[in-house]
Structure 1
Amino acid sequence: MRTPTVNRFYQLLFYLSLALIFWLAMMGIHELGHVIGAILTGGSVSQVVLHPLAISRTDLTDNPCPVIVVWAGPLLGVLIPLISLFVVRGLGWSQFRIIQFFAGFCLIANGAYIAGGSWEGIGDCGVMLHSGTPLWMMWLFGLLTIPAGFFLWHQLGSFQELIQKPEQISAQSAWTIFVLLISLIVLMELFSAR
């Protein structure tokens, strides 16, 4: 039998690793949206920066339709996780709650980025504003996605209950998620543009 301290260590290792995986995956899906938008509009992608210690970005050498490319990132950044959630729920996958948490996270992160970034015109928001997207549309995106993300999280139940039961996380699960995180970071480091 494990001690409470050991249980808490595995719980922290599991949830911190999972949170970092979710952050990196969210950035990857967001950038995939930009790449798909570029391909569909005849654009040319020069590089995608997915470095674990940097904010992700997609650089294009030719961008005939910037408004579509820039909106494809956050739109697909929320739609792909939502579709994944509906698929795993429909298939009856027992671990759908992890995907539900991830989908909620993507809704909140993308919504906060677009709505909040509109004030300073940072990153994608600067391109949106320069391409003629009105501020109200960016705020509406955040107004729709952020509460939807919190709604998905709320459906998962009490976070406090989860924290109070560290023994639910096995050592094998904690180390598996940690190794997955390290593998993802190594792959991002190897394949990310400099």
Structure 2
Amino acid sequence: MSRLYQLVFLFSLLCGCWLAMMGVHELGHVLGGLFSGGSISRVVLHPLSISRTDLSVNPVPALVVWAGPVLGVLLPLLFWLAGHLLRMPVVALLQFFAGFCLIANGAYIAGGSVEGIGDCGVMLQTGTPLWVMWGFGLMTVPAGFWLWHRLGSFQDWWRQPEKITRRYALSLFFSVVLLTTLLIFLSPRF
């Protein structure tokens, strides 16, 4: 039974990190839009779509587009550092999430730059050189893996399923189910 709880925990952690990563990334776009005098018309955070922020007025598109991935990595790092300084019991989860966001945002910007996918297309249109986008990925992806590596060996964690209690696994699972449900019902049609 311990292995089942371990799998439920791992599945929930990855799904939760994906949804939360999209949230902080889009929060960056929203804050960038508001800071630059833009007008937000819609934010899509539906779990079955790729998240996006639509602006009806966007006076500084380069700022808005970069605010997503930059705040999308800085905010999780700040959450982790605060958790570390406050010695919160969830600091390892915050560290995993920060690593996840570094890897996801960095791979998105560096990899998407080749085809101009999503935000990368806007970055290229607003004059961001490819080397800047690749540099962002080269800084963030290894940093994310470094944070994960500092958590210890995945193999050691896998060999000790009893470390994940039923309560811990189910709490995370039902938190992700609640978040997913809220996103489905509160998000506009994608």
Bin the TM-score by the shorter chain. Answer: over 0.9
Residue 65, structure 1, aligned to residue 84, structure 2? no
Residue 21, structure 1, aligned to residue 26, structure 2? no
Output the amino acid matched with 1:66: P
Output the amino acid matched with 1:9: L
Q: How many equivalent pairs are there?
A: 189
Q: How far, CA to CA, are the matches of 2:170 and 2:146 in structure 1?
A: 30
Aligned counterpart, 2:38: 43
Aligned counterpart, 1:153: 148
Residue 184, structure 1, aligned to residue 189, structure 2? no
Output the amino acid matched with 1:104: G
Q: Once the 2 structures are TM-superposed, how far is the Cα of residue 15 of structure 1 from its aligned partner? A: 1.0
Residues 117-175 of structure 1: CA deviation (Å, up to 9, x unaligned):
00000000000000110100000000110111111111111110001111111111111
Q: How far, CA to CA, are the matches of 1:104 and 1:58 in structure 2?
A: 23
Counterpart of 2:43 in 1: which secondary structure? strand
Q: TM-score of the superposition, structure 1-length normalised?
A: 0.96
Identity of aligned residues (%): 60
Give unmatched runs, 5+ long, in structure 1. 1-5
Q: How far, CA to CA, are the matches of 1:110 and 1:119 in structure 2?
A: 15
Q: How far, CA to CA, are the matches of 2:146 and 2:154 in structure 1?
A: 14
The within-5 A match list for 1:157-172 is 157-172=152-167
Aligned counterpart, 2:134: 139
Q: Once the 2 structures are TM-superposed, how far is the Cα of residue 99 of structure 1 from its aligned partner? A: 0.6
Residue 100, structure 1, aligned to residue 95, structure 2? yes
Quick check: 163-172 or 70-79, which moved more?
163-172
Q: Once the 2 structures are TM-superposed, how far is the Cα of residue 179 of structure 1 from its aligned partner? A: 0.8
Q: Once the 2 structures are TM-superposed, how far is the Cα of residue 95 of structure 1 from its aligned partner? A: 2.5
Q: How far, CA to CA, are the matches of 1:143 and 1:169 in structure 2?
A: 33
Output the amino acid matched with 2:146: F
Give unmatched runs, 5+ long, in structure 2. none
Q: Which runs of 4+ in 1 moved over 4 A?
A: none
Of 28, 51, 55, which aligns to 1:56? 51
Q: How far, CA to CA, are the matches of 2:95 and 2:177 in structure 1?
A: 23
Counterpart of 2:89 in 1: which secondary structure? coil
